[in-house]
Amino acid sequence: MIIEKIKLAFQDLFPVAEPEVSAPEEKAEEPEETKTKKKVKTKKPPRLNGVIECNYTVHGYHLDVQVDADQLLDAVSIVDQAEFFIESITGVDWIKEDQIEIVYDFSRYDFDTCRVVIRTRVNRSSPVVPTITDIYAGANWHERETHDFFGIKFDGHPHLIPLLLPEDADFHPLLKDFKA
């Protein structure tokens, strides 16, 4: 299945860390009233070396991959070689963490459908990631739109000028601190 092939291909991007061995901690017995008041949390699947396999019916995608900006082109090349197409590129402003996340959505046309999300985070004060237009020419307009709305610079983009905003726009309306 394509999901397993993609997961294996992504493993090369993430070196396996040696597990830390530590002494087990002793837990104090909790009072009975605290035990009954605990909320049930829905657990996210564990991220295995940057990759989470997700339930499509819940999340809308099969794999969620978190990479550093310097790993982005390698990650995008993996989905390109597996014959995925780019659906969209967008940003998320994590103002409290002083970061901007760039989210890339990929899918396939065949009957072995698989959706992959690749995410990378950069510092909000200098949001720069490499362009993927050399891999996906169709990313050109997606990157221009994301640049317009979030101020993310796609380093190496062939024509990073405003797509939807006025040419003299010095603002990015989807940043959380934007004031009209």
Pick from 132, 100, 116: nearest CA to 59: 116
Pick from 89, 88, 84, 76: nearest CA to 107: 84
Task: State residue 70 phi and psi, 5-degree precision.
Answer: -75, -10
What is the tens place of the pLDDT at every residue in 61-107? 788 999 999 999 999 999 999 999 999 999 999 999 999 999 999 99
What is the tens place of the pLDDT at every residue in 31-69? 555 555 444 444 444 444 588 887 777 777 788 999 999
Distance CA 175, CA 163 (A): 17
| Domain 1-8+45-180 in this protein, CATH class | alpha beta
Count other Cβ atoms within 10 Å, centred on residue 172. Answer: 20
Tell me if the pTM is above 0.85. no
Please enumerate in sequence order all residues whose Cβ is within 8 A of that of 163, keeping only pairs 6 or more positions apart, or say none. 141, 144, 145, 147, 148
Q: Give DSSP secondary structure letters for 79-134.
A: HHHTT-EEEEEEEEEEGGGTEEEEEEEEE-SSSS---EEEEEEEETTS-EEE--TT
Q: Tell me what pLDDT residue 41 has.
A: 45
Pick from 89, 77, 88, 87: nearest CA to 134: 77
Pick from 69, 66, 124, 129: nearest CA to 95: 124
Residue 135: is its pLDDT beyond 90? yes
